[in-house]
Amino acid sequence: MSTPGSAPAPVNPRLVLLLVCTAQFVLLIDDTIVNVALPTIGDDLDFSASSLSWVTNAYFLTFGGFLLIGGGLADLLGRRRLFAGSLAAFVLASAACGLAPNAGTLIAARAAQGIAGALLSPAALAILLATFRERGERARALGVWAALTGLGAATGLLLGGALVEWTDWRWIFLINLPVGAVALAVLPRIIAADQRGTRGRTPDFIGAALGTLAVLLLVYTVVETDSHPWTSGRTLLGLAGAAVLALGFAARQRTAAEPLIPRSLLRIRQAVLAQVMVLVAAGGLFAMFFFLTLYMQNVQAWSPIRTGLSYLPFSVGMGIASAVTAKMLTTRGPAVPLVLGPTIAALGMYALSRMDAATSFAAHLMPALVVTGLGLGMAFVAVIQVATGGAGESDGGVASAMVTTCQQIGAAIGIAVLVTVATGLRDDRLAEGADPMTASVDSFSRAFEIQAALMGCAALLGILVAWAAHRAGAASPTGEGAGTETKDALRKRTTPVG
């Protein structure tokens, strides 16, 4: 480990990017990889119909709930130290999932996976932000990072389908073991050690507890609305409790000497708006995967592997748009992709809402997926750059945690809300005498319409983000807009990466 005044270990930025993006990619794959395996897991471990959803919900719940703590620990304990420890914990939790003998063990192990992921993701992004400080390099690196959001989710569906069909469902978790082992083995040679002597924040344990409990209660209450209606006493009480905890967290942030979310970050208006945009867009994106997978398997009767392969056009579109947008951001501001990206994605999702039981993949589904992927690839690169670009080096872990918190919470809430809406519509259509297939297709169409509306809202937020970024750029002495470094970060360019 390096000591103050000594030269840090050489850092190869490309290898750093490869390593941290590999870790993030594994986390994102685990958001969706279990979807196509749920029926098999339910039969093998004797899950009840109501408890099976917790195989996915336990991961979303703990991942979203503990992210702010993860961001604070990345800044306090050191980026590499937390990255290594949480990656090891994620590998162990994955092994526990793959070897789970019963339903309870699997749910507990998935919750442990989520906690480890909540510590790993902000540490990884904080390392990326500290490694790439020059505007153009950071934009390109964040372009790769942003592309992982959709690519990882789509790849999870493809990989899950292949593993379930050709091996055993347990390999959807055990496959993380060799990847994690290789990453841990090469980590000391790629990422410079955390420097001693750097003053870290004193943890705000009260703020951390209030914020984490607020998120946990909110997400838990929402994901349980499939069995407890929105108007039920339990749901209303849960939402009220989450609101009280959130208000307590906000009050604590105003009075704490070392708040969990630095006040300097909250003063960056375009970054705060970008966080909200991430939350809204993630709700539409992950809900799309959820409902489109059900449509492919339950309506079109496709196999798990065919379902996964059908997402390739989306992945290709998102990859192309992410690369082009990242290159564009090195010379231009984020305003155009912030607005145009979600608008294009909204058109793609609206096209998905026009499907029926006989929809052709080549003529309808594939073009809609390509368009959606292009729009989301464009949007996520720009919004993540704005959301994290104004953070100084010491705040990188918290800034990255806020992005991923919004992403995970948006995904969990989006899926839960749309499941409630779609289920209610399907039941109404069945009561009117419609056949089950027609009722299901109608419910999916409504869900896609709402997802398109969410993307439309994201486009409107993009206008506000672009306006705030323009205002910030006009007021900056350098004349640079959002996504660039603050004066504090510029002064730290010569600080060794740790």
What's the confidence (pLDDT) of residue 50?
Answer: 58
* DSSP code at position 299: I
DSSP assignment of 172-188 equals HHHTHHHHHHHHHHHHH
pTM here is 0.77
- Per residue in 210-269, pLDDT (tens digit) is 887 887 788 788 877 777 888 899 999 999 999 999 999 889 888 887 777 777 777 778
Distance, in Å, from the CA atom of 334 to the CA atom of 468, rounded to the nearest integer, reads 11
What's the confidence (pLDDT) of residue 372?
Answer: 95
What's the confidence (pLDDT) of residue 412?
Answer: 77
* DSSP code at position 364: I
Contact status, residue 331 vs residue 391, Cβ threshold 8 Å: no
What's the confidence (pLDDT) of residue 396?
Answer: 55
Residue range 384-392: mean pLDDT, rounded: 69
Distance, in Å, from the CA atom of 124 to the CA atom of 388, rounded to the nearest integer, reads 13
Contact status, residue 150 vs residue 285, Cβ threshold 8 Å: yes
Residue range 445-451: mean pLDDT, rounded: 95
Distance, in Å, from the CA atom of 472 to the CA atom of 135, rounded to the nearest integer, reads 16
Residue that has been written with the tokens 């909110």 in this structure: 218
Q: Give the SS3 label for residue 8.
A: coil
Contact status, residue 216 vs residue 61, Cβ threshold 8 Å: yes
- Specify the range with the lowest mean pLDDT, choosing from 157-161, 203-207, 411-415: 203-207
Q: Where are the alpha helices (DSSP H) in 167-232?
A: 171-174, 176-190, 205-223
Distance, in Å, from the CA atom of 457 to the CA atom of 55, rounded to the nearest integer, reads 30
Distance, in Å, from the CA atom of 305 to the CA atom of 180, rounded to the nearest integer, reads 25
Share of the chain above pLDDT 90, in %: 31
* DSSP code at position 296: I
Identify which has the larger pLDDT, 451 or 358. 451
Q: Give the SS3 label for residue 201.
A: coil
Residue 88 class from Cβ within 10 Å (0-12 exposed, 13-18 middle, 19+ buried)?
A: middle
Residue range 59-70: mean pLDDT, rounded: 79
Whether the per-residue pLDDT at 351 is higher than 70: the answer is yes
Whether the per-residue pLDDT at 4 is higher than 50: the answer is no
- Specify the range with the lowest mean pLDDT, choosing from 47-51, 167-171, 314-318, 432-436: 47-51
What's the confidence (pLDDT) of residue 272?
Answer: 86
Query: Which residues, at least 6 apart from 304, have a Cβ–Cβ distance to it below 8 Å?
Result: 36, 37, 160, 161, 162, 164, 165, 297
Residue that has been written with the tokens 């209610």 in this structure: 424
What's the confidence (pLDDT) of residue 3?
Answer: 42
Distance, in Å, from the CA atom of 31 to the CA atom of 61, rounded to the nearest integer, reads 11
- Specify the range with the lowest mean pLDDT, choosing from 78-82, 117-121, 140-144, 270-274: 140-144
Identify which has the larger pLDDT, 342 or 297. 342
Contact status, residue 280 vs residue 410, Cβ threshold 8 Å: yes
* DSSP code at position 224: G
What's the confidence (pLDDT) of residue 337?
Answer: 93
pLDDT band of 202, cuts 50, 70, 90: low
Distance of CA 403 to the CA centre of its chain: 8
* DSSP code at position 362: I
Distance, in Å, from the CA atom of 136 to the CA atom of 126, rounded to the nearest integer, reads 17
- Per residue in 469-482, pLDDT (tens digit) is 877 765 544 444 44
The shares of helix, strand and coil residues in the chain, as percent rounded to the nearest 5, are 80, 0, 20
Nearest partner of 465 among 392, 398, 401, 385, judged by Cα? 385
Which tokens go with 477?
């002495």
The amino acid occupying position 71 is G
The amino acid occupying position 199 is R
Distance, in Å, from the CA atom of 313 to the CA atom of 297, rounded to the nearest integer, reads 18
DSSP assignment of 475-498 equals HSTT---TTSPPHHHHHGGGSPP-
What's the confidence (pLDDT) of residue 70?
Answer: 78
Residue range 310-336: mean pLDDT, rounded: 86
What's the confidence (pLDDT) of residue 486?
Answer: 40
- Specify the range with the lowest mean pLDDT, choosing from 93-102, 198-207, 334-343: 198-207
Distance, in Å, from the CA atom of 207 to the CA atom of 252, rounded to the nearest integer, reads 6
pLDDT band of 196, cuts 50, 70, 90: low
- Annotation: CATH topology of 13-203+258-494: Growth Hormone; Chain: A; (1.20.1250)
Which tokens go with 315?
């992945």
- Specify the range with the lowest mean pLDDT, choosing from 96-105, 268-277, 324-333, 356-365: 324-333
Residue range 329-339: mean pLDDT, rounded: 86
Distance, in Å, from the CA atom of 227 to the CA atom of 423, rounded to the nearest integer, reads 11
pLDDT band of 187, cuts 50, 70, 90: very high
Distance, in Å, from the CA atom of 137 to the CA atom of 130, rounded to the nearest integer, reads 11
What's the confidence (pLDDT) of residue 473?
Answer: 64
Contact status, residue 389 vs residue 485, Cβ threshold 8 Å: yes
Whether the per-residue pLDDT at 349 is higher than 90: the answer is yes
The amino acid occupying position 6 is S
